[in-house]
């Protein structure tokens, strides 16, 4: 993960794997890639994590393309194994929507399916050996004339809070939109100000309901980020061990981590359905 003249310590190895490939504006006005974590911090809010965006967009395109391709080839006479698998996933998501969503909105099931599959794919990147994709990124960096030490690449998009917060904010916007659409502006305002303790406690009601509303996207984002970040950290720590110990530990952890990958995607999807159901409820 560095030039041949540099000795890699455990701390520098871990920091390198936890650093995003960041592009932004330096304090002197120059735009470029951050070569250190300090430079990434100096770039501020407008810095872009190219690895997070690149991996998540590629996985999203693959997911949509694959489902579109299978959908165009669907047949009722002799369905393929892939079609049966896709139908079982769609049926599973629909069952969860029917069980948790009581409103009438044809957008909720596709939203739940998209969030579930996309998050599963992003989480699954955690099962790729931690050095493989960063090594490829380094070779590409060398090809473009970059220093080996300055090539960062964080493989798992969901270990970047910017990605999980981005998805959660999108869900939050939908919650607000459908809350106002279904209840009206006055109904939504009443829900925030008159509950749970009535008109006389309006400031206290507004505080409680406001915190409850804002906590929804934050909890969505931090739960997914925290669990996936912890899992990635364990993989990185295992990679620091001698080669023969790595394989004896990484395989059991990877098998166990498959459960975490699926569980976190399921929890995110379920909460999205529940929050959308709450947004469609006429009464608090």
Q: Among all residues, which ones are annotated catalytic?
A: 219, 223, 227
CA–CA separation, 91 vs 198, rounded Å? 42
- Neighbour-count burial of 145, counting CB atoms closer than 10 A to its CB (0-12 exposed, 13-18 middle, 19+ buried): exposed
- Measured in degrees and rounded to the nearest 5, phi and psi for residue 32 equal 180, -170
CA–CA separation, 117 vs 64, rounded Å? 10
Is 188 within 8 Å of 244 (Cβ atoms)? no
CA–CA separation, 234 vs 58, rounded Å? 25
Report CA dihedral (167, 169, 173, 178) to the nearest 10 degrees: 60
Report CA dihedral (4, 142, 11, 166) to the nearest 10 degrees: -170
Within 10 Å of residue 85's Cβ, how many Cβ atoms?
12
DSSP label of 104: -
Helices 243-280 + 81-100 axis angle, to 10: 50
Q: Where are the beta strands (DSSP E) in 47-99?
A: 48-49
Report CA dihedral (90, 91, 95, 101) to the nearest 10 degrees: 40
């Amino acid at each position: 993960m560095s030039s041949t003249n540099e000795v890699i310590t455990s701390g520098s190895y871990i920091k390198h794997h936890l650093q995003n490939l960041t592009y932004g504006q330096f304090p002197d006005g120059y735009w470029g890639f951050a070569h250190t974590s300090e430079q990434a911090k100096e770039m501020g809010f407008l810095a872009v994590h190219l690895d997070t965006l690149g991996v998540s967009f590629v996985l999203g395109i693959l997911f949509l393309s694959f489902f579109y391709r299978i959908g165009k080839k669907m047949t009722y006479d002799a369905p393929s194994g892939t079609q049966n698998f896709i139908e079982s996933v769609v049926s599973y998501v629909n069952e969860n929507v029917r069980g948790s969503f009581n409103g009438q909105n044809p957008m909720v099931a596709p939203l739940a399916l998209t969030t579930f599959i996309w998050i599963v794919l992003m989480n699954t990147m955690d099962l790729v050996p931690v050095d493989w994709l960063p090594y490829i990124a380094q070779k590409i960096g060398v090809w473009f004339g970059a220093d080996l030490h300055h090539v960062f690449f964080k493989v798992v998009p969901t270990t970047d809070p910017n990605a999980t917060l981005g998805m959660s904010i999108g869900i939050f916007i939908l919650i607000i939109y459908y809350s106002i659409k279904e209840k009206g502006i006055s109904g939504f305002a009443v829900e925030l100000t008159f509950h749970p303790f009535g008109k006389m406690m309006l400031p206290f009601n507004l505080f409680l309901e406001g915190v409850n509303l804002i906590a929804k996207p934050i909890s969505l984002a931090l739960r997914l980020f925290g669990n996936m970040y912890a899992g990635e950290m364990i993989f990185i720590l295992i990679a620091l061990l001698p080669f023969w110990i790595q394989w004896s530990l990484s395989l059991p952890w990877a098998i166990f981590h498959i459960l975490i990958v699926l569980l976190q995607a399921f929890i995110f999807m379920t909460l999205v359905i529940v929050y959308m159901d709450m947004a469609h409820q006429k009464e608090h």
